[in-house]
Amino acid sequence: MRVASGDNQVAAAGSTLALPLVVVIENGAGAPAKGVRVRFTVTRGAGRGSYLEDAVSVTRPDGTAITRLVLGGDADTTRVRATLAAFDGVEAEFSAVGTAAAVVIASLSPADFKAGDTITIAGSGFGSSLPTVRVGGQAAVVLPDASASRVRAIAPPCLVPGATTVRVQTGGASSSDAAATYRATRAAVTLAPFETVTIPATQLSDCLSLAGSPGASYLLTAQFAAGTEAPVPVDWRLAAERSGGMLASIDAPRSDRARVRDRTAVQRAWEAKLRALERTISSQVIAEHRGGRPSAALREPPSVGSLRGFSVVASTDGSNFKPVTARLRYVGDHILVYTDTSTAIFTDTRLKDLARLMDRDLYAATVNAFGSEPDIDGDGRLTVLLSPVVNAMSKASECVQRGFVTGFFYGIDLLEREPNSNRAEIFYAFVPDSAGRWSCPHTEAEVIRTLQPTFMHELQHLISFNQHVLTRGGAIELPWLNEGLSHIAEEVGSKLFETRYPAPFGRGTTEQLFPDSAAPFIAPQMLNAYAYLYSTLEHSVTTYVGTGSLEERGASWLFMRWLGDQKGDAIFRRLVESPFTGIDNVERASGETFGALFGDFSIALFADSLPGLSRTAAPKRQRFMTRNVRQLMAREAVISGFTQPFPLRTYQLGAGGSLRSTMPAGTMMHAIVSDSGRGGSLRLSFTSQGLAPLAPWTGAQVGIMRLPP
């Protein structure tokens, strides 16, 4: 093991080093060793707050293991040691020096404040552009007269009274928390256009009222920023009260489901069983592979044309297996491709084209985005098996309405002592069958088009299992986040071809948003997102019903896409290379509370690319950066024959009225309330329909954004 890069860096205390810490592991022959577990430990500086973003890393195909170091708050030296998990005495060391913090708060005036007060923050390193100021974790409005040594911010409403903190962030640097005191108030709050706040339901009616402003309109998002194992409907009532009495409550109408032909139901149901299987075998897999794979030379791959026997699962209940003899037809840097000898599968040229694409492009893009897969057989490659046994797992009578199994990794193959294990990482895939001999008919073009996103989707699941369970001994990721990341994996494939074929290249018509080669990857995300936006009250971001519906997967993808736009796509890898799961994982990877993220995400769904305004009119936090959601949904409506160009339902809430409905955790409702100019302030409340406080476990909160005129 040797240091490749990242040693002897100098950076401001409290910041993340600009370069990652990288070691290279080589075998006895000097070749890169893939799949070796490396532990990184802070040996000096941990007591002052220095920490590693990832304490365990598995070497990539080039033999590198990577982590990032965040320096503590003091100006001092931090040292990190890298060791091999399976061998004692093999190590490498890094050193980094923290200088005086780049962002420093010297004083607050006042340090005792209430909502709406102007806080003057003096210090250094605030930058040349407007920094972010967080008070008690809530974003504050920063006034435009900021300088490198002075920032003024407006204290946000409805924080928990008492001791709180103030922090200044600019670029990738952040100050330490400055202590302050927040005082409760009932003063009316005036929001500027696009200004937003997210208020917990328990504090809303006691602390917030919107100042009267004739003609002003507000977007309200009633939401449950939480997750539960199974959907638990919660009744709620959102009211906008004004002196003079209440109007009668009206029900928020239930959304009809967008009429979508669900041709992935069979594949999704099979995926759900695979994830359930992985949960049951996790402890056994950990026990069998404790210590990781030794860093010996990788096994040489077999020769093209050689035969191998496989035991292939042949039913979607996992109870039936069939023996398959397959011939090796492609040996790549990262994958081996076998085809079942019982039938002719692709010409050599067609198979080689598909295999090269998977090997050189799709595999590399997925691993770069999410991390490495296991290598339990020590050959440094994934195995791809094309067999009609996969076709026969689906009933021909179901194909048109519910779809069919296309491809998968099977967790049993990671076990050494399981009779039907193939003891290798294997992607099983369906094959062309134009005559419908084994199930419904499939052309060569259909199989090639479908296998590409399926391979990336399923590879993310395999990587996730490896990183969470095998590498860190943790639990398998929760379904909503696991699937959300796999749909991001499909989008990674789309971006690969979007970059390769910028408009107008690679398109059959000038109206196309995406090149033809990107369509199999991005089209499912557009359809799922459209279906979700049609019914945000019923379908959850964080709680799946059974296999996860199209709507729920659309919700997870949209949330992941927005999160990546806010935090950078590197957050996807941090989520995968983690022992944590679900909301806890998101909070640790992002450095924010889930409530703050979910609140702004709910607003971004509406505020992204508002009609008649510049795409950059809304602040970055209240929109998507890499996708124009309204444009995508309008195009999906044309493609699928839907009547609404933008399906997100918004309800009108009259000043002096209320809405009521039921929703499970991870859902939201959008409403617009306008000031009719009758004077007085508007007080909001979000309670149960019986006017009792909503339970804390629901994560009940309301996001508020003043709409532009």
Q: Is 26 in a helix, a strand, or coil?
A: strand
Could you identify the residue written with the tokens 């069983």?
273
Q: How confident is the model at residue 704 (pLDDT cuts 50, 70, 90)?
A: very high
Q: What percent of the chain has pLDDT over 70?
A: 93
Residue 109 confidence (pLDDT) above 60: yes
Residue 448 clears pLDDT 80, i.e. is over it: yes
Topology agreement, domain 2-99 and domain 102-184: yes
Tokens 């379904």, residue? 479
CATH 2.60.40.10 fits 2-99, yes or no: yes
Contact 499, 564 (CB under 8 A): no
Assigned token pair, 614: 């510049």
Instruction: Name the amino acid, one letter, at 104.
Output: V
Which residue is it, tokens 């209320």? Answer: 658
User: pTM of whole model > 0.85?
Assistant: yes
Q: Could you tell me the pLDDT band of residue 248, with boundaries at 50, 70 and 90?
A: very low
Q: Which two tokens stand for residue 615?
A: 């795409």
CB burial of 372-387 (b: ≥16 within 10 Å; e: otherwise) equals bbbbbbbbbbbbbbbb
Helix (H, G, I), strand (E, B) or coil at 467: helix
Q: E strands along 278-377, which residues?
A: 307-313, 321-331, 335-340
What DSSP state is assigned to residue 417? Answer: S
Contact 602, 656 (CB under 8 A): no
Residue 243 has pLDDT above 60, yes or no: no
The pLDDT of residue 477: 96
What pLDDT band is residue 371 in, cutting at 50, 70 and 90? confident
| Residue 690: pLDDT band with limits 50, 70, 90 | very high
Q: Tell me if 539 sits within 8 A of 558, measured CB to CB.
A: no
Residue-wise pLDDT tens digits, 130-157 = 888 999 888 888 998 999 899 999 998 8
Q: Percentage of the chain with pLDDT > 90?
A: 62
**Could you read off the pLDDT of 23-68 as tens digits, one per residue?**
999 887 888 888 787 888 788 876 666 778 767 787 888 889 899 8
In this predicted structure, what is the pLDDT of residue 44?
84
Average pLDDT over residues 425-430: 97
The strand pairing partners of 328, in sequence order, are 338
Average pLDDT over every residue of 329-341 = 96
Per residue in 196-239, pLDDT (tens digit) is 999 999 888 777 778 777 778 899 999 999 998 888 999 999 98
pLDDT over threshold 60, residue 255: no
For residue 118, list its beta bridge partners: 154
Average pLDDT over residues 172-179: 82
Q: So what CATH class is 186-255+649-709?
A: mainly beta
What's the confidence (pLDDT) of residue 213?
75
| Rounded Cα distance, 574 and 593, in Å | 16
> What is the CATH architecture of 102-184?
Sandwich (2.60)
Residue 235 falls in which region: left (phi positive, over 0), alpha (psi -120 to 50) or beta: beta
pLDDT beyond 50 at 294:
no
Higher pLDDT, 692 or 653: 692
Q: What Cα–Cα distance (Å) separates residue 427 from each residue in 363, 384, 603? A: 12, 5, 39
Break the chain into its structural domains and give their ranges. Answer: 2-99, 102-184, 186-255+649-709, 302-451
Q: What is the pLDDT of residue 582?
A: 97
Name the pLDDT band for 608 (thresholds 50, 70, 90).
very high
